[in-house]
Structure 1
């Protein structure tokens, strides 16, 4: 019995220590601020545990279907896992939402590129890879391109109108100061004034 005591003690100590070792660090409640699925998803992505990140971001998207950041992350994760059809679907939802939020990067920072633009870029890549022909998406893209062109034309017209108004104000100021010559009037010929 005394010979078995060290092996029994070793076995008991392993049972106590092993569960803490088997749990991934990002899943352990070490950080009191890591209490939501978004933080856990980021930690899982940092650990390159895409399956757990998929679960966390999936929960976020299920809780709030309007959360385009979570949907975009789901698309990125699915693409990384080789699930291209699911990724295409999530990118499509993000693109149609026209979200102006910044697109997340792999390192956790947020880019200046809007989510819908990043989703459009990835849709084009995946669409070519999957040989997708999505006529509804094409109509949405054409409509969005038309609206963007209309907005650009409106801004250009407003800028030209502002420029013309400023030129008219400059002419009025010069006329008030007497800097403009009117017709044949000049100091040497006063007959036509």
Structure 2
């Protein structure tokens, strides 16, 4: 009886620790992609394309030339699409900043209903991040080749993977907590 209780307690602590480590990884990757890399998904000497930059190499001038929104619209890139993608991706960062506080509150209260909210928040984060990235890539796919993506894009892909892992881990914890705290 005592060993089973100890094992259950360790399982709960292990799952909580995993959730917090995954949340820290999400924050680190998002800060890297959106702040350190300034939202640039392609950051090469001859091309810089991101949520705030659209710069292409100008052969005549011999330098990188950043285009304004009116030029992007002529190229078929929607200003509203870029703004919507930016809002989605950066909203995911804001949710990620406050997520550990909400998680700690739910954990301290041992509230199984709160775990449903945690799962919903994680699913929303996955949807807005993938939606924002999808909209951005749809708008810019003519100017970006697969091999040109740099660290910012890879960090956002890693963020997606960690968010999916967090959903899995939180689901496992929710299942464990329902059995431990049936009421």
Q: Same fold (TM over 0.5)?
A: no
Q: Which structure shows the bigger proportion of residues in helix conformation?
A: 2
The structure carrying a bigger strand percent of its residues is 2
Relative CO higher for 1 or 2, CA cutoff 8 Å, sep ≥ 6?
2
Greater Rg by CA: 1
